[in-house]
Amino acid sequence: MDTMVKDKAITKELDVENIRNEFPILSVTVHGKPLVYFDNAASSQKPLFVIKAISTYYETVNSNVHRGVHHLSSLATDQFETARKTIATHLNANPDEIIYTRGTTEAINLVAFSYGEVFIKEGDEIIISQMEHHSNIVPWQMLCQRKKAVLKYIPITDSGELKMDEYKKLLSAKTKLVAVTHVSNSLGTINPVEEIIALAHAKNVPVLLDGAQAVPHIKVDVKKLDVDFYCFSGHKVYGPTGIGILFGKTKWLKEMVPYQGGGEMIKEVKLEASTYQEPPLRFEAGTPNIEGSIVLATAIDYMNNLGIDAIAKHEHKLLDYATEKLRAIEGLKIVGQAKYKAPVVAFNIEGLHPYDIGVILDQLGIAVRTGHHCTQPIMDLYCIPGTVRTSFSFYNTIAEIDTLVEGVKKAIKMLKK
Ligand code: PMP
């Protein structure tokens, strides 16, 4: 396993104890035990900096955007558009390439519809992989059904890596889009996205990356990647739920049809027909999640203040430690052993159901996720009902992993009695 930190020696260390004090929820007790929150891949906890920004918005700014001439409306519009710039800067994109969505799922559905309507026809092929989240499978299945196109899957190895030779074979003159995850939510695998993009672009095929599990852990530069579409969710990067981002290159967005019709996205509405705004507003019908958009930028500022490299350094220390300690437990098998991993350790214990382990861990105050993690094809491929998934954040500690390891041993003892 390798870390993505370029220079471990010079990257600063996080002051985790002080950081934890900024997250009120980390001090709650669950079933009388201190909470150990290891379900960060599902949703992250929020610092006071973010929580307070939500109430500040409602206390001092709240109004609709792009509409009013009055003071509050222009203040809200200003903050909404400034947030778009902050998010654009974070991804190294232009603000008009940043579309506010409800989350990663809506961002992918938007591309599947709006790109699909224009660029996909009968017999065309779309390539995704076997390790995709359902949000990056179902929209493409729906599009392929609608257009009579064909969905192809890059297979994965036993350790949870993409079979790149098979990917090369799948790419053809029929391929019209490649859509893969940057980081797998259930295996932790960090995919070789630069190579995936270069191979697709060599055949003039655009690439969408599902960055839901990458943006919380990795510095993403869409220009350097030269990726065509990139999406992520606010709630996984210490921001609110119900807000997410779709980055799209202008050359595609300009050609794409609207995803939804309504207010905000129009230029002119006549009874006969309507004309539409330029991107990004063309894809933002209706009153948006104003508070969510503004506070997502606040959350990104928070992460940048800590430093993405410092975050990655700490999280990889947790990943390496948890991998070593869990692996040493008899009968425990880690699912997802790629060379490059984000801080996710999923596992199974011989003879036990993941759900039962999850329930016992919960009784001990330890929050993990059990089940298929919205990646049923992976579970089918490995012939397992699901896994116990632990996923770490910069506010987690080595001591918490020790608690987890003790908890897993206790669960085994109880269940194997
Ligand atoms: N893709 C991946 C890799 C994910 O982990 C998730 C969330 N678990 C999603 C997509 C969907 O994100 P959301 O529910 O925030 O739209």
Q: According to the model, what pLDDT value does residue 229 have?
A: 99
Q: What is the pLDDT of residue 9?
A: 59
pLDDT of residue 358: 97
Does residue 7 have a pLDDT over 70?
no
Question: With bands split at pLDDT 50, 70 and 90, how would you rate the model's confidence at 8?
Answer: low
Q: What is the pLDDT of residues 193-218, one digit of tens each?
A: 999 999 999 999 999 999 999 999 99
User: What pLDDT is recorded for position 312?
Assistant: 97
Q: Is there an atom of ligand 1 within 6 Å of 358 CB? A: no
What are the pLDDT digits (tens) for 230-240?
999 999 999 99
Domain 16-48+307-415: top CATH class: alpha beta
CB 176 within 8 A of CB 119: yes
Q: Whose CA is nearest to atom 14 of ligand 1?
A: 105
Q: Is any atom of ligand 1 closer than 6 Å to the C-beta of 101?
A: no
Which residue bears the tokens 């359902």? 134
pLDDT digits (tens, 9 = 90+) for 15-70: 999 999 999 999 999 999 999 999 999 999 999 999 999 999 999 999 999 877 89
> For residue 10, what are the contacts with CB-CB under 8 A and spacing of at least 6?
none
Give me ligand 1 centre to Cα 373, in Å.
10
Best of 140, 185, 186 for a ligand 1 pocket test (most atoms within 8 Å of beta carbon):
185
Distance CA 326, CA 88 (A): 39
**In this structure, what token pair is assigned to residue 122?**
């009968």
Q: Is the CB of 369 under 6 A from ligand 1?
A: no
Give the position, in ligand 1's atom list, of the atom nearest the Cα of 42: 8
Can you read off the two tokens belonging to residue 332?
A: 């425990």
Residue length, the chain? 417
Residue 338 to residue 235: CA distance in whole angstroms = 26
Ligand 1 site-directed mutation target among 213, 215, 230, 378, most atoms within 8 Å of CB = 213
List of residues 6+ apart from 310 with CB closer than 8 A: 11, 12, 13, 14, 394
Q: What is the mean pLDDT of residues 124-143?
A: 98
Give the span between the Cα atoms of 317 and 140, in whole angstroms. Answer: 36
Say which CATH architecture domain 51-304 belongs to. Answer: 3-Layer(aba) Sandwich (3.40)
Are 186 and 156 spatial neighbours (Cβ–Cβ below 8 Å)? no
Query: Catalytic residue numbers?
Result: 374
pLDDT of 310 over the 80 cut? yes
Kindly tell me if the per-residue pLDDT of 6 is higher than 80: no
Could you state, in order of their start, the residue ranges of all structural domains in the chain? 16-48+307-415, 51-304
pTM for this prediction: 0.97
Pocket flag, ligand 1, residue 103 (CB < 6 Å): yes
Q: d(Cα 148, Cα 126) in Å, to the nearest integer? A: 11
For residue 5, pLDDT beyond 80: no
Q: Average the pLDDT over 293-302 and give the result.
A: 98
* Backbone angle region of 12, left / alpha / beta, with phi > 0 → left and psi within -120 to 50 → alpha: beta
